[in-house]
Every structure is written in structure tokens, then in C-alpha cells.
Amino acid sequence: MRNLKYNLIALFAGASLTLAFAPFNIFVVAFLAPAILLGISLNTSKYIATWRGWLFGIGFFGTSASWVYISIHTYGGTNIFLAILLTALFIAVLGLFIAVSIYLFRLLTPGTPNLWRIFVFFPLCWVFGDWLRSWVGSGFPWVYLGYSQLTTPLHGFAPVLGIYGVSFITAFCVVLVYLICIDKSTWRTRIIGLVSLGIVFGLGASLSRIKWTYPTNQTLTISLIQGNIEQEMKWDPKHFNQILATYKKLTKPQLGRNVIIWPEGAIPAPTYYISDYLAELDGAALANHSTILVGTILSDSDNNLYNGMIALGMSQGTYQKRHLVPFGEYVPFQHWLRGLINFFDIPMSDLLPGPRKQALINVNGLFFSPSICYEIAYPTLIWRHADKANVLINISDDSWFGHSIAAAQQLQIAQMRALETGRPMIVVNNDGITGMISIEGQVIEQLPQNKTDVLQSTVTGYTGMTPIVRFMRWVE
């Protein structure tokens, strides 16, 4: 019964951790939930602790990432039982990364560990698990602990240490919270823990006052097009002309503004199929001294296809998505898997990745660094090109995840990228959330979700480098 009790505690503590992230943003849970896991992992064998870590992970990812079910079942056409099985398998695998973190932690802190070992190895092992999750099997760098701290003084560490550093600091605070609230410590130890927590938060607050980057003298007018095209329509040939007409109608009143940006895959067809339409857009943009950035499927001379963006009008250039989503944009081992179930045959799941280094898009002297959808979750992908950019853009289509929390989580990730790089971030999403993010990582303007609308705003370019961008530039 005792083991059952602690197993349930691990499961429910993990499930509660989702409340620390968007759209809930109850940041204190990011300290309490892992502190509970820490408490039930000590003074037991490393194998029992690992099991509880896995249960914690199942609870966490079962509440924070189960929206993949919508993609698999609703839009992937997989029957409900197989979709549930695939989602459960996905969650179980993600839970293993927390299990690995706890196993390593207990391996490095055998028996009843000294306090200093807990302070060193718990944050290190937690961040190691996050880093491992970022690249194994193409990676799932989602809901890292540090993302929960965008509204606390700990966000001041982001431009210096990046998301992994903020997660480390957060996990360090988890140990302090454990000492203050859970461990049977003396009052003296609890007071020291409370003072230490205040020092860490104070240091973060001090760092947040430093301006690492500074504005250029260039400001552009922008219009962000939220088409709100439903997935059922998007890949149905019967609605293709209607989609083209919708974007043309939304764009026409915006001509004359410096930049007009469409979401990911706004035109669900290869560029060779829509050459006349693109030529017409290009002419209209040129005549009105505008640049239109169009999310579409790019094709090359060999008819290879890429998820990308093309610049029309006053600017020229393309961007090809570099980090593709497995099963969504390409099928691993497709010789065996293609045709096995409907999900492996969703539209445009045979794309190629773009080259690692690509030219930025120059718009009236400001350099825009694009990323597409899921790429925003890979911090090094954004850091390594931010020094040359003045503005960051992310275009997405989160309608694949229905009315779930995925879009809010992705916006939170975009906020962290803006804060880390000291660059304004433009986010354009097919069904929302479309918005503008300041260099402080704050959403300053946004459109309501699931509504066809246009956000008119301005953007000022920034230059200079934050410490994390400067370091990654040196590493590269």
C-alpha cells in the first residue's frame, strides 16, 4: 500500500506540473511538483526512484502533450483505438526521459546523500534529461521547466544562459523549495533555504534590467494574416480556389504596408502549381512597394518539395524548413511504414529538409530570420542565426492540434526565443495565436484564436548580441 501511495503521488504530481506552463501559467507549480518527486525519490532504491520518475513523466506528458492524439485521429484518419495506443506509446516514451534523469540522480547520490550532492546533481540530471529529449528520435524539446518562469524574475537568466540555464536555475530552486516545504529540516536550514531562494530571484531580477541589445533606426509597418483555414478544407481540392481567394481578399487592403506575412502552408500546393498566382501577387506587391512573405510548399528544379516561405514584391528570397517533424513532414523507414496506417499518409509527408545555413530575408534594410512551426522549439537553431538578424519570424499552422493547449505552449516557447536573443518575434499562425512579442519576451499584441483576422502593427529591428547568442556564435 505504501508503494501504491507514492506511485499515485508521483503520477498526480507529474500531471499537475502542466499547470506551470501556458495557458495556465501557475509558475509556483514548477517548484512544488518536482520537489514532491525529489522527496519520494530520496531514501529509496534507485530502481524504485526511477519507476516513480517514469510515472511522474507519464502524468506530466499525459496532460501537457496528449494533444498529439488530435493530429493522429482527427486529422490523420487513424481509428480511435489505434490513435489512443499511439498516443499512449508517445507519452510512455517521453516519460522515460524523466525516469533517466531520476536514475542518474540516484546513481550519483547513493544512500542518504549529502545536501551538496542534491543541489548539484538534481538540477544537472534534470537538464540532462531535457537535453536528451531534444535530439533522441528527432527530439521533442517541449515544456522545459524554464519556460514556466517567463513571468518571474528568473527570466532574467534567459539572455545569459538560455532555456537550459533557466531550467537548471529552476531545478536548483526546486531543491530549495524541497528543503523549505517538504524535508524535515531544522528551522535554521529552512531559513537559509528561504534566503537563498530570495538571492537567486534577486539576481534574476537584476539581470532582467540589463539591455543586451538596442534598436536600429528602422521601423516597418507589418500586417499579419490569420487565414483560419480548417484542416478539413485545406487539403481538399474542392476548396483550393476558395483558399487562394481568401488570402487575396485579406491581403489586398494591406498592400502599401512594408511587410505582409502569411502563415505556414497558407497555399497548400507546390510553387510550380501556383506560378501564375504568385506572379500576380508579386506584381501587386511591387506596385504598392510592399513585401509579401508567403508560407507554401517550395519546389526546386528536380521537383523536390520543401515546407517553406517565399518573399514576393520589394524583397526576394526563400526559406526552406530545416528541422522537419517525423511522420508529419516525412516518414522514417517509409519503405515499411508508408501505407501501413492512414496517419503515415497525411498530406505533404514526403518533404525534404532545407540546408542548415540559409540567407536571411532582407526587407527594407532589416534582416528577418524565419523559422517554421516546430523549429521554434529548438533553441540552438534560432540562436546560431540571431546575431545577423534584426527580427525573428515564426509561421505556423496549429490547426493540426484543434482547440488544445498546444498553440499557447508554442507561443510561450516563442516568447523565450525572443527573450534569449533580444530580438522582436513575429508569430503568424493559421488559426492563432498570431501576435507580436517584445525583446523582453512579452506578448504585446495578439489576435483571438479560431478567427479570420489581420493584425496591423509595426516592428523595429534590433542589433547587438545577448551572452547566449554570442557564445553560440563562437561555438559554431
Active site residue 420: no
Cα–Cα distance measured from residue 339 to residue 334, given in angstroms and rounded to the nearest whole number: 9
Amino acid at 345: D
Give me the catalytic one of 46, 373, 375, 420.
373
Q: Residue 211: how many CB atoms within 10 A of its CB?
A: 12
Q: Where are the alpha helices (DSSP H) in 178-272?
A: 187-208, 231-234, 240-251
Radius of gyration of the chain (CA): 23
172 three-class SS:
helix
Give me the catalytic one of 264, 329, 375, 420.
264
Cα–Cα distance measured from residue 330 to residue 240, given in angstroms and rounded to the nearest whole number: 23
Active site residue 321: yes
In contact, 366 and 103? CB cutoff 8 Å: no
In contact, 293 and 391? CB cutoff 8 Å: no
Pull the grid cell for residue 402.
484543434
Of 391, 382, 371, whose CA–CA distance to 215 is shortest?
Answer: 391
Pull the grid cell for residue 342.
492512414
Cis peptide before 347 (omega within 30 of 0): no
- Specify the pairing of strand 267-270 against strand 291-299: parallel
Q: What is the DSSP letter of 5?
A: H
273 three-class SS:
helix
Pull the grid cell for residue 98.
524523466
Residues 6+ apart with CB under 8 A from 312: 278, 281, 282, 285, 291, 292, 293, 294
CA distances from 112 to 48, 343, 473 (A): 15, 48, 42
Give me the catalytic one of 125, 173, 321, 420.
321
How far is Cα of residue 145 from the mean position of the Cα atoms in its chain?
Answer: 13
In contact, 278 and 258? CB cutoff 8 Å: no
Cα–Cα distance measured from residue 260 to residue 292, given in angstroms and rounded to the nearest whole number: 5
Cα–Cα distance measured from residue 377 to residue 370, given in angstroms and rounded to the nearest whole number: 13
Measured in residues, the chain has a length of 476
DSSP states of 76-132: T---HHHHHHHHHHHHHHHHHHHHHHHHHHHHHS-SS--HHHHHHHHHHHHHHHHHH
Residue 375 φ/ψ region, left for φ over 0, alpha for ψ in the -120 to 50 degree band, beta for the rest: alpha
Please provide residue 336's backbone torsions phi and psi, each rounded to the nearest 5 degrees: -95, -35
Pull the grid cell for residue 40.
519520494
Q: Which residues are catalytic?
A: 264, 321, 373
